[in-house]
Amino acid sequence: MIAEPISVLVVDDSALMRNMLKKIISTDEELNVVGVAMNGRFATQKIPMLMPEVIVTDLEMPDMNGIDFLKWRQEEEVDIPVIVLSAHAKEGASITMEALALGASDFITKPQGTGPDELRELGTHLINLLKAYGHNYRRRVGRVPTAAPAPTYREPPSRTPAPATHPAETVRSPLIRDHMPKTEGREGVLNMSGLRGRPEMIAIGISTGGPNALRQVFAQISPRMPLPIVVVQHMPAGFTKEFANSLDKISPLEVKEAQDGDLLKPGRILIAPGDRHVEVEKRKLATVIHLSDAPPQNGHKPSAGVLFDSVSRNFGENSIAVIMTGMGKDGAAEIGGIFSRGGMTLAQDEASSVVFGMPRVAIENKNIREVVSLNNMARRLNELTGC
C-alpha cells in the first residue's frame, strides 16, 4: 500500500505559474496538490478546509502578498512549513531573507526561462524540498501516513532507566555506538581533554533546512566566542550576501559573506558565497579565506567537502567541524580527515534535522564523535570553546 501523499497548497497570482507548479508537483506520486490560491488572502481561507502539510507561495501578489501572509501565519501560530518562490538574486534576495526571518522554511528561485533543462532543475529541487519539509512536518505533528516507512534506526528496548543526559543533550547515536572512541567522562560525550589539540576554528557544512537552523544557532552563540567560524550553506549565487546580513542582525557575532583574503578572526562568522568554494589557508602572519572557482564537488558549489578538506590540512586536531541538516552526502567523507587527525566532529541529530542525509552518511562513515540536537548545538559549541 502506498503511503498517503503529502498535501500541498500552491499560492501564486499567476495562473500560468499555478498551472506549471501543479503540473510539476503532480509528477511525483508522493505529493498531491490539494488546492491553489491566487494570493495570501485566499490561502488563509483555504488552509482550515484543506489542511495542507506544506505550502509553496509567491512573494509578490496583490491584496495579501507573501510577506503579509507569513506575518498572518506567525500571528495565527500556523506551523505548516512554507517554501517561498523568489525572484533571482538581484531582485529577490532581500525580500527572500525577510521571508525566512518571518518563518518561511526555505526558498526556490523562479525560472528565468521555460527551457526543458531549467524546468527540470526547478522541478527536481521543488519536489525534493516539498517532500523533505512535508515529511518533517508529519514527524513533528505526529501525523502518520497510511503506510509510513519504518524508522531507519531505533534505540533498543531497555529494562533499566536511561542514563542522565549531558546538560547539552549531546547523545551517542545508535549508529555510532560500537565505534565511538573510548573516553573518560559522561556517557556519550567525548571530553575535549580526549582530543590531541586545542580548537582554533569551527567549520560548518549544512544544506536543506539550514537557513532556519543557522538562525537559531547563531542567535544563541556566545558573544565571547573565541574562535572564527566558516560556514558552507548550499544556497544560490547572489543570496548568500543577504543571508549573511540577515544573520548579522540577530547574532552577537559579526557575520558576513566571505571574500577572498578575509581574515579568520575570533568571533567572526564567514558565509561561503553561493557560487564559489571556500577554503582556509594558513599563512605566516594570519589565516585567510581563499575562494575557488573549481568545478562542483559532491554536486555542490560551494561544497562543505572542500571546506572540510582545507580545515583538515591546515588545522587538523585544532579544529571543530559540524555537519548539519541536508540532503545527500556533501562533506560526510571529508569531515573524516578532521576526525582522523584528532579534531572534534559533531553531527546534528535526526529528530531535529529537516533531512537527515549529510549527518547520517557522516555517522555511517564513522567520522562523528558526538551527535547533538539543534536546540543544543550553540550551547555545545560554547562549551567546547570555553565560553
- On whether residue 164 sits in a domain, the answer given is no
- Determine the Cα angle at 357 with ends 351 and 360, to 5°: 70
Q: Encode pLDDT of 233-269 as tens digits.
A: 999 999 999 999 999 999 999 999 999 999 999 999 9
The amino acid at 247:
L
- What pLDDT shows up at residue 11? 98
- What pLDDT shows up at residue 110? 84
- Residue 22 belongs to a domain with what CATH number? 3.40.50.2300
Same domain membership, residue 318 and residue 206: yes
Confidence of residue 114 (pLDDT cuts 50, 70, 90): low
Cα separation, 8 vs 54, in Å, equals 5
Of the two residues 250 and 193, the one the predictor is more confident about is: 250
- On whether residue 148 sits in a domain, the answer given is no
Confidence of residue 152 (pLDDT cuts 50, 70, 90): very low
- What pLDDT shows up at residue 117? 80
- On whether residue 154 sits in a domain, the answer given is no
- For residues 368 and 345, the answer to whether their CB atoms sit within 8 Å is yes
- What pLDDT shows up at residue 92? 83
Range of the domain at 67: 6-141
- On whether residue 158 sits in a domain, the answer given is no
Query: CB-side exposure of 372: number of CA atoms within 13 Å?
Result: 30
Same domain membership, residue 193 and residue 120: no
- What pLDDT shows up at residue 111? 77
Residue 201 pLDDT exceeds 90: yes
Question: Rounded mean pLDDT of the chain?
Answer: 87
Same domain membership, residue 227 and residue 137: no
- On whether residue 149 sits in a domain, the answer given is no
The crossing angle, in degrees rounded to 10, of helices 40-50 and 66-75 is 40
Same domain membership, residue 299 and residue 207: yes
- What pLDDT shows up at residue 113? 65
- What are the cell numbers at 246? 540577515
Closest among 97, 101, 331 to 216, alpha carbons compared? 101
pLDDT > 70 fraction of the chain, expressed in percent and rounded: 84
Cα separation, 2 vs 61, in Å, equals 36
- What pLDDT shows up at residue 118? 78
Cα separation, 374 vs 89, in Å, equals 28
Same domain membership, residue 198 and residue 56: no
- What pLDDT shows up at residue 196? 65
- What pLDDT shows up at residue 90? 64
Same domain membership, residue 60 and residue 134: yes
Q: Are strands 277-282 and 287-292 parallel, antiparallel or unpaired?
A: antiparallel
Same domain membership, residue 345 and residue 301: yes
Domain end among 86, 120, 141: 141
- What pLDDT shows up at residue 89? 57
Q: Any idea which of 181-185, 201-205, 240-244 has the lowest mean pLDDT?
A: 181-185
Same domain membership, residue 254 and residue 127: no
- For residues 329 and 361, the answer to whether their CB atoms sit within 8 Å is yes
- Determine the Cα angle at 104 with ends 143 and 270, to 5°: 120
Q: How many domains does the chain have?
A: 2
- On whether residue 180 sits in a domain, the answer given is yes
- On whether residue 167 sits in a domain, the answer given is no
Same domain membership, residue 345 and residue 205: yes
Q: Encode pLDDT of 330-376 as tens digits.
A: 999 999 999 999 999 999 999 999 999 999 999 999 999 999 999 99
Same domain membership, residue 301 and residue 343: yes
Q: How far lies 164's CA from each of 73, 110, 338, 360, 371, in Å?
A: 38, 48, 29, 24, 16
Helix or strand (DSSP H, E) at 342: none
Residue 168 pLDDT exceeds 60: no
Cα separation, 220 vs 247, in Å, equals 11
Q: Encode pLDDT of 45-93 as tens digits.
A: 999 999 999 999 999 999 999 999 999 999 999 999 999 999 865 678 9
- Residue 351 belongs to a domain with what CATH number? 3.40.50.180
Question: Cβ contacts of residue 114 below 8 Å, gap of 6+?
Answer: none
Torsion sign, CA atoms 134, 136, 140, 145 = positive
Active site residues: 207, 234, 330
Confidence of residue 213 (pLDDT cuts 50, 70, 90): very high
**Other Cβ atoms closer than 10 A to 15:** 10
The amino acid at 169:
E
- Count of positions (residues) in the chain: 387
- On whether residue 147 sits in a domain, the answer given is no
Residue 276 pLDDT exceeds 50: yes
Cα separation, 58 vs 43, in Å, equals 11
Q: Where are the beta strands (DSSP E) in 258-338?
A: 268-271, 277-282, 287-292, 319-323
Q: Any idea which of 120-124, 288-292, 311-315, 369-373 has the lowest mean pLDDT?
A: 120-124
Q: Encode pLDDT of 3-42 as tens digits.
A: 899 999 999 999 999 999 999 999 999 999 999 999 999 9
Domain end among 141, 159, 190: 141
Same domain membership, residue 117 and residue 241: no
- What pLDDT shows up at residue 162? 36
- What pLDDT shows up at residue 87? 80
Domain end among 92, 125, 141: 141
